[in-house]
A and B are shown apart, each in its own frame.
Chain A
Amino acid sequence: MSTITIAWIALPFFVGFVIYLLPKLDRYLALCMAFASATYALQLFLERSPLTLKLLDNFGVILTVDQLSGYFILTNGLVTAAVILYCWHSDKTAFFYAQLIILHGSINAAFACADLISLYVALEVSGIAAFLLIAYPRTDRSIWVGLRYLFISNVAMLFYLVGAVLVYQADHSFSFAGLRVAPPEALALIFLGLLTKGGVFVSGLWLPLTHSESETPVSAMLSGVVVKAGVYPLVRCALMVEEVDPIVRIFGVGTALLGVFYAVFEKDTKRMLAFHTVSQLGFILAAPVVGGFYALTHGLVKSALFLIAGALPSRNFKELQHQAIATPIWIALVIASFSISGFPLLSGFGAKVLTTKNLLPWQAIAMNVAALGTAISFAKFIFLPRGGQADVKPGFWAAVILLIGGLVLANIVYYEVYTFANIIKPLATIGVGWLVYLLIFKHSILKLPRVLEEFDHLIGVMSLILILLFWKGFAWLGI
């Protein structure tokens, strides 16, 4: 198993360069790689105990794979496969597929490693590959959006590096477990890096613009898996070191509320979905024990939604309300929206219930409000008129069927959830959400300012979050 793990981590980078050498085979190789990752993840579920590898002794690379990373890796494999299928008949060059597979590989590496430095390398490589994908159309806007992304993630990772060396000074190793003995400032710096990279809370407000302005398949990839590379280490730290668990939960609740607040008022489909990613990341962090399953369902549903939103005739909800969309697309849209609002028979339901069961008492009210906001914001999609004509790309249906099929199949993981009491609550939430939408928000014209999303403010907010974390960390550890 350990040999397979190492080979599997190295394989995507190798395949990426082979694609560049053999441009004719690009999509076949890429698709094979994505399915190989998914198979590997399924194999992880069969293993009972976590597998830990220490390469080159204590100072070197430490890899840990268990069921938690299995969920994340499965998400990565399925979303990448869907994106490749979506692009199958487009005129994307081999460069695009090579970058896609390198991005896939670096995120796989981030999901497997358990020490700070290999995590740093994986995150930076994923940042570079994501920049190249965002800037693929070579227009001024795409280059600026990509530059902004690279800039913010690199500055965050510089803070992270300072934190990593402080952990080394205290523990003489870079493993996550060293956070237990590390000083609070190390914790604050590392958290700042990961929060920013993962798009969590105020420091994650770079995310909406980046995700909504990139191309459809790229935003599906970014929202589906790339942000999870920043969230996974937080979940892993919260599970390994129980002192940081409350901090992770606080940020989870905060980001769930913030994202949904913006999403409810948003008038643009892709920006709404991007804000929604921010809020769903909060759900993953709010209950770290079951975060893996939530990440899987969210990755599948969000990339499906981004692909479908790319097939709609307009990006503006006001225009869409007067323009009928084709019935098959509408059905796919409704299935995905139902899943994310937690409707039974789709795995979003199981994930929501599982998360609710693992919340602490003080989180419950806030998370219920966030779930209600989810229902309100997705009512915008459900109540769109239908019956028009559609002209979708040839690969569209293959991708969407793969993702939605995954959603339905993922139900069996947690089938014992189907009890009467469990089913009533999400249905009530959705009902209340629709009512609130039809009565209030359908006609609201409030437009929230975008001041916080400007470049300088994003960097400035980082320093504020740093101060907050310092203060929190000092208070928590009683120093």
Chain B
Amino acid sequence: MLEACIFATILCGFFGIILKKNLVMKIISMDVMSTGVIAYYVLIASRGGLFTPIISNVKNVRYADPVPQAVILTAIVIGFSIQALMLVGVMKLARDNPTLESNEIEKNNTP
């Protein structure tokens, strides 16, 4: 059930990138998509159990797998930085193309 929701999120983001005309909306759709991907990593990590694997008095419970969570942290940081960089680029473009329609920008800027 959760897995289906996550795939729906990824697909929503992907179709948003194609169908939305505005450049900022496209970037937000990309963010939705990457949120879905991150959630999928968390879901995979929690297959074994939900407990945090740290040393404590609790014995023999089902632990969550720390590896995918640790790995996805890198992807979150990279995704965030790319988002920031793209928004800066869009701000620069917005001075000459206030509507930010991607078709228009593309028409003006290809030979």
Contacts and interface: CB of A to CB of B under 8 A. Distances in A.
Most A Cβ at <10 Å: residue of B14, B30, B41, B81: B14
Contacts of B75: 120, 161
Contacts of A135: 89
Given A158-B37, A161-B75, A128 B81 contact: yes
B14 A140 contact: no
A141 B89 CA distance: 11
Contacts of B71: 117, 174
Contact of A147 (B10, B37, B90, B111): B90
B52 to A, nearest CB: 17
B30 A154 contact: yes
B54 interface: no
A456 B18 contact: yes
A125 B86 CA distance: 14
A318 to B, nearest CB: 15
Given A454-B106, A460-B18, A158 B44 contact: no
B89 A147 contact: yes
Nearest to A147: B89
Given A151-B86, A455-B102, A460-B18, A140 B108 contact: yes
Interface residues of B, number: 40
Contacts of B33: 155, 158
A289 interface: no
Interface residues of A, number: 40
A113 to B, nearest CB: 13
Interface in A158-178: 158, 161-162, 165, 168-169, 174
Contacts of B30: 151, 154-155, 158
Dominant secondary structure at the B interface = helix
A17 interface: no
Interface in B55-111: 67-68, 71-72, 74-75, 78-79, 81-82, 85-86, 89-90, 92-93, 96-97, 102, 105-106, 108-111
Contacts of A143: 89, 92-93
Nearest to A139: B109
A303 B96 CA distance: 33
A62 to B, nearest CB: 13
Interface in B33-47: 33-34, 37, 40-41, 44, 47
Given A117-B74, A161-B75, A162-B37, A144 B17 contact: no
B75 to A, nearest CB: 6
Contact of B86 (A117, A121, A150): A150
B93 A140 contact: yes
A14 interface: no
Contacts of A168: 44, 67-68
Given A145-B109, A147-B86, A154-B30, A463 B68 contact: no
B14 A155 contact: yes
Interface string A95-120: 00000000000000000000001001
Given A120-B75, A459-B18, 7 more contacts: A124-B82, A135-B89, A143-B89, A154-B30, A161-B37, A162-B37, A168-B67
11 contacts: A128-B81, A140-B109, A145-B109, A150-B85, A154-B30, A161-B37, A162-B10, A165-B44, A456-B18, A459-B14, A459-B17
Interface of B: 10, 14, 17-18, 23, 26-27, 30, 33-34, 37, 40-41, 44, 47, 67-68, 71-72, 74-75, 78-79, 81-82, 85-86, 89-90, 92-93, 96-97, 102, 105-106, 108-111
